Structure 1
């Protein structure tokens, strides 16, 4: 489950971050455009990561991406978790952050996701869009 959460978080962080006041079913045009280009955006980010990531970060990314992808929307996933973020693409091309405390709260049509520890936080929703789990949220600095 940690691997699934890490992989989902990595992809969502690399692909999509929406404004805080946005409704769960609405995205800003620039986020919708990135989502519409998901395969190209994710592919470019992965190519950059594998070209220049450190050996340790590449090993963590490979572990996170191994196995069969799953999208689980089940009340049983609600609760406190240990999560990990991986940033792919851009400069630097791959950053694997330390694990952090997070919380998933099932809301019927998806989850409220909250990063609970560390100086950089995020809060948002994970919903299904065209069969994909998509995170729309906002990042901020704790305090």
Structure 2
């Protein structure tokens, strides 16, 4: 019975990813049809480490299952963009910002919300502070290649 449940759950997750990727592909294809050729895309971050998720854990830990779902989608999105989409769109260029990787190390066990929101990633249970958004934007705009593939946003705009 446990094997059946695990297989059923894997099928549901695969269908979920497939649906999301289909919608992403359709949106990019539609924008491409309107003349867009350069795309800045940001994947899903460590949503399992958002304060709201961590409040649900007795130890304040990240929700690993939620992060695993986000990472699986991120892999599927990276593959979609690297393949040039199912329709093969000539001239399409993109920069994929890796929010999952850019947030690594930001989530400490048992951290709490803070009064000085200029120094922290979150200002409430799920939204980044202005400083957090600034750091993420700067990283994706002109940051290291490990956080943006195949180029950063600055390189994309100059190409």
The normalised TM-score by structure 2 is 0.26
**Relative to total residues, which structure has the larger helix share, 1 or 2?**
2
Q: Which has the larger radius of gyration?
A: 2
**Relative to total residues, which structure has the larger strand share, 1 or 2?**
1
The normalised TM-score by structure 1 is 0.27
